[in-house]
């Protein structure tokens, strides 16, 4: 521990390590070296006390050679990272990255820690307390980090003309000079990258929504995860794998000159978990979410601005794309009054529904496609774009072709495997004697996971899991009867519409 006595000694002898660090290091160098070192230290200490009585030339000569001698006996390099730099106390990014790196890696070796919510973070982080130190290993090399506080004079607001004492922290890195290249290069780069990555993972993520051409945001705190998402485990694993591969493939995208983006199309009936999956995606990758409401965007210029403002590590979502866009091939031909490929740009029809009147052609499909294909290539960064629809058949092929929408995921009615996940989530049940009945019924009835989940929420009056399952079975049986009735009615309609033999012949004769 750094005592006052030691502090004053250190001032005079800047090349000596702190006693505990010295102890740590000397263990590897050997006792003999330690004794020689302390002899040298004592000698330098005495010299520092009496140097005022010697001529200047002798002092300069001594300083020059004492450094060489010291670096022989104390072959360690120290680098200090201050919390803030310059007169205006600009906060140092390196300092924050080191703090976060140490708090997740080496901190627990220390005996005295501080707990705090770090800047831009939402989780409690532990960091070294004043005058604490820890060791860290990198590729078999040991380095030491120590934390300290220093007092500086600063001009503080509002009293800009008065200087006040401010306490600022610093981290000191100590390593053997023989490892200088490894530590100053790869190790420090690793610490910075790791610290920043942890910071991104722990930051308060945001959900952005646009009102017209402007984004506003709230904290994104959706609890959905892939674990709680009800879908076939094999399909789920495939999606998780695809997402994690994408998020780690920055170098591949850079090497191949492609924009680091990936498009997903989620389709299926309402209540099958499309929005839930988007939240799970964002939570898995620790991305922000931009929920883009296209119908309120004024024109292509506004759309471009909105998209340019999205940050890296984000999911850009356009929900119910079929409702935002009037895009089917048929509709396009009707609207433009010409066939596809007669010179018009791919998808150059207006998107906004207000454009139906034919005036003020504003946000267009081609505008959207241009942004997806081109713009982000220049922006860099890591982005997912997700479209959802309840009617995949309605979408223009130009919008969903591979390369734009790289992965098409169908979210469908509740399977038995999906039900098992819901039962675990809602009722903490792995098995139950009623499961077999539910399995049989789910094979016969189309019901969404949202509807199943609704029956599995334990009611306040009776939180009984069995009762929830009985209610679900009841609902499945009712749905089965309804489906049968609808089918029967449809068959009857068909029978009625079908002309009888004689009527049919007469009708054919009339046409001929
Ligand atoms: N696959 C699922 N796994 C877990 N919960 C689900 C799933 N599908 C639906 N739910 C539950 O049902 C609710 C509604 O689902 P969600 O909004 O994700 O469906 P959606 O397909 O996006 O519907 P819409 O097309 O109407 O937007 C969710 O809040 C969730 O609780």
Rounded Cα distance between 39 and 456, Å, is: 77
Rounded Cα distance between 318 and 303, Å, is: 12
Q: Tell me which of 2.120.10.70, 3.65.10.10, 3.40.50.620, 3.40.50.300 is the CATH number of domain 206-410.
A: 3.40.50.300
Whole-number pLDDT of residue 480:
92
Whole-number pLDDT of residue 16:
36
H helices present in 51-82, as ranges? 56-73
Whole-number pLDDT of residue 356:
44
H helices present in 74-112, as ranges? 93-105
CB-count exposure of residue 428 (10 Å: 0-12, 13-18, 19+)? exposed
The residue whose CB lies within 8 Å of the most ligand 1 atoms, and thus the one to mutate among 450, 451, 452, is 450
What pairs with residue 152 in β-bridges?
A: 166
The residue whose CB lies within 8 Å of the most ligand 1 atoms, and thus the one to mutate among 230, 271, 409, 410, is 271
Number of C-alpha atoms within 13 angstroms, CB side, residue 65?
A: 5
Q: Model ipTM? A: 0.97
CB-count exposure of residue 245 (10 Å: 0-12, 13-18, 19+)? exposed
Neighbours of 463 (CB within 10 A): 11
For ligand 1, is residue 367 a contact (CB within 6 Å)?
Answer: no
The secondary element (H helix, E strand) that includes residue 290 is strand 288-291
How would DSSP label each residue in 205-226? -EEEEEETTEEEEEE------T
**How high is the mean pLDDT in each 10-residue block of the chain (512 residues)?**
39 37 41 56 68 74 72 83 74 87 75 67 70 89 91 61 74 93 94 88 88 90 94 95 94 85 93 96 94 89 87 91 59 39 44 46 76 66 90 83 85 95 93 94 94 87 81 93 87 69 51 38
pTM over 0.95: no
**All structural domains of the chain with their residue ranges:** 1-74, 76-203, 206-410, 416-495
Reduced to 3 states (helix: H, G, I; strand: E, B; else coil), residue 17 is coil
Which residue, judged by its Cα, is nearest atom 13 of ligand 1? 450
Whole-number pLDDT of residue 178:
92
Inter-axis angle of helices 465-497 and 416-427, nearest 10:
150
């Amino acid at each position: 521990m750094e005592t006052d006595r030691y502090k004053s000694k250190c001032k005079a002898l800047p090349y000596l390590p702190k006693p505990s660090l010295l102890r740590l290091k000397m263990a590897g160098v050997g006792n003999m070296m330690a004794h020689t070192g302390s002899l040298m230290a004592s000698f330098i200490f005495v010299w520092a006390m009496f140097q005022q009585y010697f001529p200047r030339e002798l002092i300069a000569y001594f300083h020059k050679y004492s450094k060489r001698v010291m670096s022989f006996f104390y072959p360690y390099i120290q680098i200090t990272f201050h919390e803030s730099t310059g007169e205006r106390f600009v906060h140092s990014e390196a300092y924050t990255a080191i703090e976060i790196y140490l708090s997740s890696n080496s901190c627990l070796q220390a005996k005295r820690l501080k707990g705090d919510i770090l800047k831009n973070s939402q989780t409690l982080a532990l960091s070294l307390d004043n005058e604490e130190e820890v060791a860290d290993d990198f590729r078999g090399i040991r380095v030491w980090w120590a934390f300290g506080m220093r007092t500086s004079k600063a001009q503080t607001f509002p009293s800009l003309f008065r200087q006040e004492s401010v306490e600022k922290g610093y981290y000191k890195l100590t390593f053997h000079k023989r490892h200088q290249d490894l530590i100053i290069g790869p190790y420090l780069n690793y610490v910075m990258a790791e610290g920043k990555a942890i910071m991104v993972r722990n930051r308060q993520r945001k959900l952005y929504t646009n009102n017209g051409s402007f984004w506003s945001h709230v904290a994104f705190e959706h609890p959905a995860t892939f674990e709680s998402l009800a879908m076939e485990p094999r399909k789920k694993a495939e999606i998780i794998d695809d997402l994690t591969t994408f998020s780690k493939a920055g170098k591949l995208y850079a090497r191949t000159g492609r924009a680091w983006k990936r498009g997903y199309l989620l389709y299926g009936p309402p209540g099958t978990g499309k929005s839930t999956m988007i939240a799970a995606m964002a939570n898995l990758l620790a991305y922000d979410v931009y929920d883009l409401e296209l119908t309120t965007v004024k024109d292509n210029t506004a759309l471009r601005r909105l998209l340019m403002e999205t940050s890296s590590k984000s999911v850009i979502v356009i929900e119910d794309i079929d409702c935002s866009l009037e895009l089917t091939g048929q509709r396009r031909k009707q609207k433009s009054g010409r066939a596809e490929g007669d010179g018009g740009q791919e998808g150059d029809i207006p998107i906004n529904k207000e454009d139906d009147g034919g005036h003020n052609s504003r946000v267009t499909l081609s505008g959207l496609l241009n942004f997806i294909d081109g713009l982000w290539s220049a922006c860099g960064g890591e982005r997912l774009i997700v479209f959802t629809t309840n009617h995949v058949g309605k979408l223009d092929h130009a919008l969903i072709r591979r390369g734009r929408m790289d992965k098409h995921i169908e979210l469908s009615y509740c399977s038995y495997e999906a039900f098992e996940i819901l039962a675990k989530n809602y009722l903490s049940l792995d098995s139950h004697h009623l499961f077999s009945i539910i399995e049989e019924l789910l094979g016969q009835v189309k019901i969404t996971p949202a509807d199943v989940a609704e029956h599995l929420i334990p009611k306040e009056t009776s939180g009984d899991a069995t009762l929830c399952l009985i209610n679900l079975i009841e609902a499945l049986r009712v749905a089965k009867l309804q489906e049968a009735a609808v089918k029967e009615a449809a068959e009857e309609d068909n029978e009625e519409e079908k002309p009888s033999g004689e009527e049919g012949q007469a009708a054919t004769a009339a046409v001929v």
